[in-house]
């Protein structure tokens, strides 16, 4: 008995060392979900104090400008009409899309949060509103609510590598027309509030992509359970526009693209 317990104990600690240690993520889906629930409460109530896991030394950017989280968009209580989040349990990061369809003060907000240990150490947010690229909150709310970003059955889930590669191919084609993009069919792009699709099986995403644009400084949040990846980037080189491209990938192919692009630097 002693021998068996000893062996089991050694075996367990060996496996936790060899399997656990190098990528020990310190976050669970539950801890990430709790943080996002707090983010939504914070935005609804107008107080970042609602985010319990926030590190005292959290760094915050809003539209690529460094600031303090308590003085940013979270200081404004907003009624959220639609929200959707993805959870990256490998990188310990989250992405949330918040749609605020208030007629006087409409917003579509994209927020990435990153953890170190059990604390949120980085929050980056893009706040789009009237004047930003193709902004039309009515369209965003309508189309985003209609889409299916539900969990994908485990056996059909793509790997992180496949999901990221599909997103990268799409982002790369803006600067290299030779790139082969795994277009899905159907596929639809929601850019600001403008939709390339009609909600039909024939919808295509291969409809007009600019060229000569470097989409760089890519920051990924990947959630295999829903085939989603969000990429924060600069659109048009290192000092380019603050931008988010979010993708839903199904069986290696692009199903949806959502973009937020900040045109007005003063917000
Ligand atoms: C966020 O969306 C979920 C449905 O996906 C909903 O149940 C929840 O109430 C929403 N939260 C807020 C704060 O609007
Ligand atoms: C996990 O937490 C431990 C203790 O807080 C820390 O030393 C380690 O760097 C953390 N790992 C990651 C990936 O955050
Ligand atoms: C905004 O989107 C809605 C819904 O798709 C559409 O009916 C409306 O015409 C759009 N407004 C503008 C100014 O494009």
Query: What are 65-122's pLDDT values in tens digits?
Result: 999 999 999 999 999 999 999 999 999 999 999 999 999 999 999 999 999 988 999 9
Tokens of 114: 């990153």
Q: Is 50 in the pocket of ligand 1 (CB under 6 A)?
A: no
State pTM to two decimals.
Answer: 0.89
Ligand 1 lined by 101 (C-beta under 6 Å): no
Which ligand is closest in space to the CA of residue 81? 1
Please name which ligand lies nearest the alpha carbon of 150.
1
Cβ 54 vs Cβ 119: under 8 Å: yes
Q: Please choose, from the candidates 76, 72, 32, the residue with its C-alpha nearest in 3D space to the C-alpha of residue 223.
A: 32
At 163, which helix (H) or strand (E)?
A: helix 160-172
**Which pairs with CB-CB distance under 8 Å and at least 24 residues apart come from 214-220?**
214/174, 214/175, 214/240, 215/171, 215/172, 215/174, 215/175, 215/240, 215/243, 215/245, 216/240, 218/168, 218/171, 219/112, 219/124, 220/88, 220/91, 220/164, 220/167
Ligand 2 cavity residues, CB under 6 Å: 24-26, 116-117
Ligand 3, atom 13, lies closest to the CA of: 136
The confidence band for 26, taking pLDDT boundaries of 50, 70 and 90, is: confident
Read off the pLDDT of residues 140-168 as tens digits, 9 standing for 90 and up.
999 999 999 999 999 999 999 999 999 99
Confidence (pLDDT) at 50: 97
264 vs 31, higher pLDDT: 31
Q: Identify any residues that bridge with 257 across adjacent strands, giving them in sequence order.
A: 189, 247
Can you give the pLDDT at residue 158? 98
Query: Counting atoms of ligand 3 from 1, which one is nearest the CA of 195?
Result: 5
Average pLDDT, stretch 246-256? 98
Q: Delineate the domains of the chain, giving CATH numbers in brackets.
A: 4-261 (3.10.450.50)
CA of 21 to the centre of ligand 2 (A): 9
Edge to edge, the sheet with strand 54-62 lists 65-67, 54-62, 119-128, 107-116, 93-100, 82-88
For tokens 């008995």, the residue is 1
Instruction: Considering every ligand atom shown, identify the ligand nearest to the alpha carbon of residue 149 and give its number.
Output: 1
Q: Is 40 close to ligand 1, i.e. is its CB under 6 Å away?
A: yes
Per-residue pLDDT at 7 exceeds 70:
no
pLDDT tens string 71-80: 999 999 999 9
C-alpha span between 160 and 154 (Å, rounded): 13
């Amino acid at each position: 008995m002693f021998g068996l317990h000893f062996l089991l104990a050694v075996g367990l600690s060996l496996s936790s060392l060899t399997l656990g240690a190098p990528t020990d993520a310190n976050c669970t889906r539950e801890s990430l979900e709790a943080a996002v629930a707090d983010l939504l409460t914070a935005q609804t109530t107008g107080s970042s104090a609602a985010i319990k896991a926030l590190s005292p030394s959290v760094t915050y950017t809003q539209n690529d400008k460094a600031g303090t989280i308590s003085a940013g968009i979270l200081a404004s209580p907003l009624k959220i009409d639609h929200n959707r989040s993805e959870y990256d349990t490998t990188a310990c990061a989250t992405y949330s899309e918040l749609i605020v369809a208030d007629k006087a003060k409409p917003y579509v907000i994209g927020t990435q949060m990153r953890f170190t240990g059990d604390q949120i150490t980085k929050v980056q947010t893009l706040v789009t509103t009237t004047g930003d690229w193709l902004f039309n909150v009515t369209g965003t709310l309508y189309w985003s609510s209609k889409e299916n970003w539900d969990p994908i059955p485990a056996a059909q889930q793509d790997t992180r590598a496949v999901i990221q590669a599909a997103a990268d191919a799409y982002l790369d084609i803006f600067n290299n027309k030779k790139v082969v993009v795994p277009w899905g069919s159907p596929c639809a792009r929601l850019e600001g509030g403008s939709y390339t699709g009609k909600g039909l099986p024939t919808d295509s995403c291969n409809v007009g992509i600019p060229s000569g644009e470097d989409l760089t400084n890519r920051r990924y949040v990947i959630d295999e359970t829903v085939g989603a990846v969000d990429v924060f980037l600069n659109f048009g080189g290192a000092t380019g526009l603050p931008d988010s491209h979010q993708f839903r990938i199904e069986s290696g192919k692009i199903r949806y693209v959502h973009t937020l692009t900040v045109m007005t630097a003063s917000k």
